[in-house]
Structure 1
Amino acid sequence: MAIAIANANGTRYGLTATVWTQDVGRAVRLARRVQAGQIAVDTLGDGGPAGAIGAPFGGYKHSGFGRSMGPDYLEDWTQVKCVVINAA
């Protein structure tokens, strides 16, 4: 898992990431450590708010400025992360 996190965080960008696993605990641990504004678990990140209507959308690092959608767009100086888990 450490290599996957290092690879994910070793880029200048951090808009979205996708995690595929059957272990929800592992998915949450990975989502906390990956520097991306949106993380989809066991579903495709489609470039939008991962199917979560009204969820914050925006990236970390060189992937845009601030957030759009949801109340978090007012807090441009925070790092918000959206994690969507397909529990079906």
Structure 2
Amino acid sequence: MHYRPLAGVPGIEVRTHATTLYNSIYRADDQALVNAHVWGVNAYGAPVRHLRRSGKGGMFDTYTSSFDAVWETATPVGEG
């Protein structure tokens, strides 16, 4: 609902999935924001990690590998 206005904007793709996740991951190029889900805390009050790719095999690659695996199973949100 909150991201629907972004559907159809050039360069932005929004997808939904049914996977149970313990983090929300927002990724752009070599940077990512990882919002850790915490029991009893709304997402806006939970910690956010700002990750930058600094080499192969680090935290950035671990989270983006997880993101990519879920992304492949997700359904694109149509315009409208």
Shared fold (TM-score, shorter chain, > 0.5)? no
TM-score using structure 1 length: 0.26
Q: Which of the two has greater strand per residue?
A: 2
